[in-house]
Amino acid sequence: MTGNLQSQIEPAPGTAAAPWLIGRSPRRSAVRTILRKEIPQVAGSFRFKASAFLLVAVMALAAVTGGARYRSEVLGQSAVMDGYSREVSGAAIDQAAEILHPAVKPPWRLALVVDGGQTATPNVYAQALSALVAPEIRQIHSSNYRLPGREPLDWMFAIRVVLPLAAFLLGYDAVCGERREGTLKLLLSYPVARWKVLASKLLAIWICLAAPLLAGAAVSLLLALGPAGIPLEPGDLAKAGLVLLLGLWAAAFFVLIALLVSSLSRNPSASASVLVWLWVTGVIAVPALTDVLAHLLRPIPAEGEVRLQMEAIDRRIAREHGGREGHWRQPEWAAADGFAWERTSAAAENRRFVLQEEVRRGLLRRKIGQARLAGRLASLSPVAMTEDAAELLAGSGLGRDQSFLDQAWSFRPVLANRFQALDARDPRSPHILFFSGYLSKRPVEAGALPRFAFRERTVRQGLAAARPTLAVFALETAALAAASLFVFSRYDVG
């Protein structure tokens, strides 16, 4: 038995025995044995302590800032809805036709996990039923835009900015550093498969990243549910869990990059330089460049172009109706001929509204399309791809903005049908929908009008939406793992 163990751990001639391998069987527990040596070595470094502190601090601050923003948005949106309720209360049906009825996108409860631009995009889409009143889309502002640091602080900031930097700091000398010290040559002198050595280093660094990431997530959620006062629901916690799993996956991906670069380098300084260049390129340069490319490849019409389109629509309506539009008389006078002029004017205005609404909605779609193109171009960087996958899993980002617009546009016909039903009950109404003065004078009953209710994306829908992005990320991870193993298996330790 003793002779067998000695034969398994006996180093090559001319090398010294590694104390942490003496008495162990690399064939049966090589990965575990190397892990016991690697983890204390990584965890005991200042680089790890600084990275761990930064990860936990950023994720904890995400809950604090997310809670403050959530409470502020709740108050702002409550004020909007209270004002709308006061405006509708006691108003006649014909007056309510020209009131802007708000569709409100509720505050994003998972802003601490992945904001996805929700702090910068509009959250109120107000529409009137009258064709004479244009819709309004806006954001309820409650912050000072002159303050620095406008980028939202969330888990994804930690995952896409802090996590790759930490992985590179911990792994830049994992191979070339041990080669320079001679310990790698000593380790590989034992009958241990190189893939086990690489896997051990990968697991050691990954564990040292996963621990603070999990701790930061736990602290962040406790703060969110407690002092921050964010009413997270079970579905929200499930989405947060999916994003956290994605973060753990991304940590392994970034460690593989560090190991690959370290295996391609002969000294730690060269490895660190390459990794710093990769971090700057992936985190800063690529997203900035893709924004420029998106503007060039898919430009958005300027305000002057939109105004010219609106004026062209006005001329088109004038030609189609031969100047007979725009005649509105007092209802008691117009009743003599059955509101003939008014019905023609109403048809012209409704036609104008439909055409102009196509322009307005087309402009919004182009803005979202441009942003989506920028996101696809940015996905050339694994960092941006990770963020895109997180937004899809959580139901944030462009998907939430597009869903809000679609639901707001679908809400208008529902509101119109309800108005038409209320107006039809009054036989004295001219029933010229939806123009003030030519509808019922009866007051709107309390609770008679429907209220907009936004439907968030479910966990299942998020998984389905993120499946293509996750598949690409899986292929990139597999290719990176294969490349790392190939390079390390041929690494010259001499």
* pLDDT, tens only, 10-28: 444 444 444 444 444 444 5
Handedness of CA 281, 287, 288, 290 (dihedral sign): positive
Comparing 213 with 433, which gets the higher pLDDT?
A: 213
- Binned at pLDDT 50, 70 and 90, residue 150 comes out as low
Q: What is the mean pLDDT of residues 307-321?
A: 92
Picking from 440, 443, 444, the residue whose alpha carbon sits closest to that of residue 428 is 440
Q: Which pairing describes strands 101-104 and 136-138: parallel, antiparallel, or unpaired?
A: unpaired
User: In the prediction, which pLDDT does 119 show?
Assistant: 84
Comparing 171 with 18, which gets the higher pLDDT?
A: 171
What are the backbone dihedrals phi and psi of residue 138, each rounded to the nearest 5 degrees, phi first? -155, 170
Rounded Cα gap, residues 136 and 128, in angstroms: 9
Task: Of 19-33, 65-79, 135-149, 287-301, give the lowest mean pLDDT range.
Answer: 19-33
Q: What is the mean pLDDT of residues 294-298?
A: 92
Which run of H or E residues covers position 138? strand 136-138
Domain boundaries, the chain: 29-494
Rounded Cα gap, residues 58 and 52, in angstroms: 10
Taking only the tens place, the pLDDT of each residue in 62-108 is: 999 999 999 999 999 999 999 999 999 889 999 999 999 999 999 99
- Binned at pLDDT 50, 70 and 90, residue 140 comes out as confident
Q: What is the pTM (predicted TM-score) of this model?
A: 0.89
pLDDT at residue 325 tops 90: no
Alpha helices in 123-267 (DSSP H): 155-157, 163-171, 176-181, 183-188, 194-225, 234-264
Taking only the tens place, the pLDDT of each residue in 31-53 is: 888 888 889 999 999 999 999 99
For 42-111, give the DSSP string.
HHTSHHHHHHHHHHHHHHHHHHHHHHHHHHHHHHHHHHHHHHHHHHHTT-BHHHHTTS-EEEE----GGG
Tokens 């010229």 -> residue: 432
pLDDT at residue 315 tops 50: yes
Rounded Cα gap, residues 23 and 158, in angstroms: 41
Taking only the tens place, the pLDDT of each residue in 178-202 is: 888 888 888 888 888 899 999 999 9
For 176-197, give the DSSP string.
HHHHHHTHHHHHHTSS--HHHH
User: In the prediction, which pLDDT does 145 show?
Assistant: 56
Averaged pLDDT of the chain: 89
For 355-407, give the DSSP string.
HHHHHHHHHHHHHHHHHHHHHHHHTTSHHHHHHHHHHHHHT-HHHHHHHHHHH
Of the chain, the percentage scoring pLDDT greater than 90 comes to 70
Taking only the tens place, the pLDDT of each residue in 330-355 is: 888 888 888 988 899 999 999 999 99
